[in-house]
Amino acid sequence: MGACEGKSEAPDSNMSLTWGPQYKFNVMFLCNHNSCRSQMADGWLRTLRGSASVGVASAGIVGGTAVKEGAITVMKDAGVDISSFTSDAMADFRAEDFDVVISCCGCGSKLDGDKEVWKKRTVFMDWNLDDPPAIDPGDLSEYRRVRDECKTKVQELLDMLSRPYGSHYKKNVMFLCNHNSCRSQMADGWLRTLRANASVGVASAGIVGGTAVKEGAISVMKDAGVDISQFTSDAMADFRPQDFDVVISCCGCGSKLDGDKEVWKKRAMFMDWNLDDPPAIDPGDLSAYKRVRDESKAKVQELLDALQKPYGPHYKKNVMFLCNHNSCRSQMADGWLRALRGNASVGVASAGIVGGTAVKEGAITVMKEAGVDISSFTSDAMADFNPQDFEAVISCCGCGSKLDGDKEAWKKRTYFSDWNLDDPPAIDPGDLSAYRRVRDESKAKVLELIQKLAVE
């Protein structure tokens, strides 16, 4: 490998050549010391990814040490040069920069406390590969065995990440139509094109069953720069509703989702777009196809915009954290829920009952220490939100008594609780100890809340 394929010297730089925002997905391989298994996995992914937009880094949970000579040797035997790789510490990376986190050594149990955010990424897996240096008889046979097992797992991971929908996306959308021949195909094509690096997976299917994709749909989408000529027409029966968060009926066919099909309408978000059927009305010049194509594009963009919001109908449950000014406690709780929810379908927002002010620097600092970046959060006013958009409302500061009069609707949601957390700015002695204590108390309460919402 060329010098550009060595590990980044600045793991927190957006200009990293091996991982960063320039990739659709970013994978972190973890091991105790980043000396063997995680290094081999890192090398395999760089080698096998080809043109796939998958970035990769590796690190040691405990810290970095020298890369094992045995790992370098057996990878070189397989045509992969990891001799220039450095052994890095997980503490030098940010969990939020990675979509997929793989524990290569069964060390997931060590990801507790401040490290727990690493287990809450979109995908977390524990491969539990054997440790070659601990069991190698001296002839490198264990290194070779683990090398080959690692290659297989990396290829399986890349295959998974190449699929247009699945657990590697934060949200997955299913577009339905009668036969998956036109409207749902155009919507599918638009979402794949417009999502860019948004973590939104997509599939489309026919409620009645799949037929050939209409040539008119292929033609007008091609005119718009979207190639759906290779798309297949599939049957809804070949998919599982639980794999999708959002289900869109493109053709007004929601009424056909009855009986055993009704589960498709019970996902976190169901919509019926009721787009016209171009083949049924097209006069021969494709004008109906073009009109529906453009309507579909607008609706898909609106959907993507909605899915990027941290709360909304695309989540099964939505939580509002309240405080007087949305400057400290509610901001930390908001940050924790976003970091810890993993794949739980829980949306979140925070606001100030009195109104919003700037987020406290102390809160930003101590949350960053715990691996959670809230520096870009804004301080908002409760008046800018609707209580009916939230199932759970948490008063972080004991301010529930202020929710009277026209504000009382906030206390009437399905779940209301007053955590009564101390106010760090009011009691901090100057060393941020009060901020840290409240940060940790907030984390514990957020974890309890996520568990509670998951079983309700």
Q: DSSP string of 310-335?
A: SSSTTSSEEEEEEESSSSSHHHHHHH
- Please tell me whether residue 27 adopts helix, strand or coil conformation: strand
CA angle, corner 170, sides to 166 and 175, nearest 5?
60
User: What is the C-alpha separation between 129 and 167, in angstroms, rounded?
Assistant: 22
Q: Which helix (H) or strand (E) holds 146?
A: helix 141-162
Cβ contact 323:433 at 8 Å:
no
The closest alpha carbon to 266, from 240, 252, 246, belongs to 246
In sequence order, the β-bridge partners of residue 103 are: 30, 126
The closest alpha carbon to 235, from 261, 212, 210, belongs to 210
Spatial strand order of the sheet with 25-31 comes to 54-60, 25-31, 100-103, 123-126
- For the record, the structure tokens of 241 come out as 């509703």
- Helix ranges (H only) for 308-430 are 329-340, 361-369, 424-427
The closest alpha carbon to 120, from 96, 103, 104, belongs to 96
Residues whose CB falls within 8 Å of the CB of residue 286, separated by 6 or more in sequence, listed in order: 216, 219, 220, 278
Q: How many helices (H) and strands (E) does the chain have?
A: 12, 12
Q: Which helix (H) or strand (E) holds 394?
A: strand 392-395
105 among known catalytic residues: yes
31 among known catalytic residues: yes
Phi, psi angle pair for 449, to nearest 5°: -65, -45
The closest alpha carbon to 347, from 389, 305, 382, belongs to 389
Of these residues, 105, 150, 396, 399, which one is catalytic? Answer: 105
Tell me which residues are annotated as active site: 31, 105
